[in-house]
Chain A
Amino acid sequence: MQVPLNHYLILSGLLFSIGVVGVLTRRNALIVYMCIELMLNGVNLSFIAFSRYLGDMGGHMFTFMVMTVAAAEAAVGLAIIISLFRNRQTVDVDDVNLLKG
């Protein structure tokens, strides 16, 4: 039996929301980064599912681009975390509050 579309969509939404909760709750910057990756993956799943069910290859393209961006983001984001660690000896996001008004 074919898997109905909404199964994929529910899974995608759940993965996304788990990622959101992780971003909001965790204090370690690396964990936050990984949760962001989780969110991106959830969205990818949604794209692929729709692409299959609508027969359009555009979804694949979008996923391709998302992956590219995720790679770029990995490079830059991790570089930021490393320089943050170098300057402040911590990767705790709560300690990065210089913008406090």
Chain B
Amino acid sequence: MQLLMFYGFAFFALFAAVGMVMSRQPVMSALLLIVNMFCLAGLYAQLDAHLIAILQLIVYAGAIMVLVLFVIMLLNLREKQGIISKHQVALQAVGIMALGFFIITVVSRLNPAKLPAPKQTDATFGTVAAIGRILFTDYLLPFEIASVLLLAAIVGAVILAKSKV
């Protein structure tokens, strides 16, 4: 059952990814990427990462991709802008296959017997409470730094997007 779910999500994710890379229209690419993110959220859920799955949907698919769609529509990109030359399709196909082969070779060297089996974890693994607990104790510093980072990003974005500096 789990394996089946995995394969389902995995194939959808891959199709969406390849489609995104090869699509001519930007909007299509954006939408396919959203599909990809949904599939990944499903995979996260399967891996007991509850909060991360939801965050993926809310932040990534919900905020970031919407922002990207806004920009695509703002720039009003014509079809011409997304054109890829005739060589590029072949190039992309070859590239994907080559890299994929590479990855598979690398990973297949891993001996399945030596791979860790999923550890026994209790029901609180990956829940909001658990993440919240370690976020504010063990990983407090990264948390604070992340907030500074976001501040910097906001200021930077505002300055960059101003018409008159």
Are A83 and B149 touching (Cβ within 8 A)? no
Looking across the interface, which residue of chain B has its beta carbon closest to that of A31? Answer: B29
Contact (A91, B3) CB under 8 Å given A10-B107, A82-B161 = no
> Which chain A residues border B43 with CB–CB below 8 Å?
8, 11, 45, 48
Contact between chains at A6 and B75 (CB < 8 Å): no
- The count of residues in chain B whose C-beta lies closer than 8 Å to any C-beta of chain A is 83
Contact among B103, B110, B116, B156 for A14, CB-based, below 8 A: B103
**Which of B13, B60, B71 is A30 in contact with, Cβ under 8 Å?**
B71
A71 touches B81 (CB 8 A): no
Task: Please report the C-alpha to C-alpha distance between residue A34 and residue B33 in the assembled complex, in whole angstroms.
Answer: 8
A4–B154 Cα distance when bound, in Å, is: 41
Chain A contacts for B108, CB-based, 8 A: 6, 10
In A60-96, which residues have CB < 8 Å from any B CB?
A: 60-61, 63-65, 67-76, 78-83, 85-86, 90-92
Whether A70 pairs with B64 at a CB distance below 8 angstroms is yes
Q: How far is the CA of A51 from the CA of B92 in the complex (A)?
A: 32
Q: Output the residue of A19, A24, A27, A60 with the most chain B CB within 10 A.
A: A60
How many whole Å from B12's CB to the nearest CB in chain A?
11
CB-based contact B63/A25 at 8 Å: no
- Mark each residue of chain B from 1 to 44: 1 if its CB lies under 8 Å from any CB of chain A, else 0: 01100100010011001101100001001100100110010011
Known contacts A11-B10, A25-B21; A30/B33 CB under 8 A? no
Compute how far the CA of A64 lies from the CA of B146 in the bound complex, rounded to whole angstroms: 10
- Chain B residues in the interface with A (C-beta under 8 A): 2-3, 6, 10, 13-14, 17-18, 20-21, 26, 29-30, 33, 36-37, 40, 43-44, 46-49, 51-52, 55-56, 59-60, 63-64, 67-68, 71-72, 74-75, 77, 81-84, 88, 91-92, 95-96, 99-100, 102-104, 106-108, 110, 112, 115-121, 125-126, 130-131, 134-135, 139, 142, 146, 149-150, 152-154, 156-157, 160-161, 163
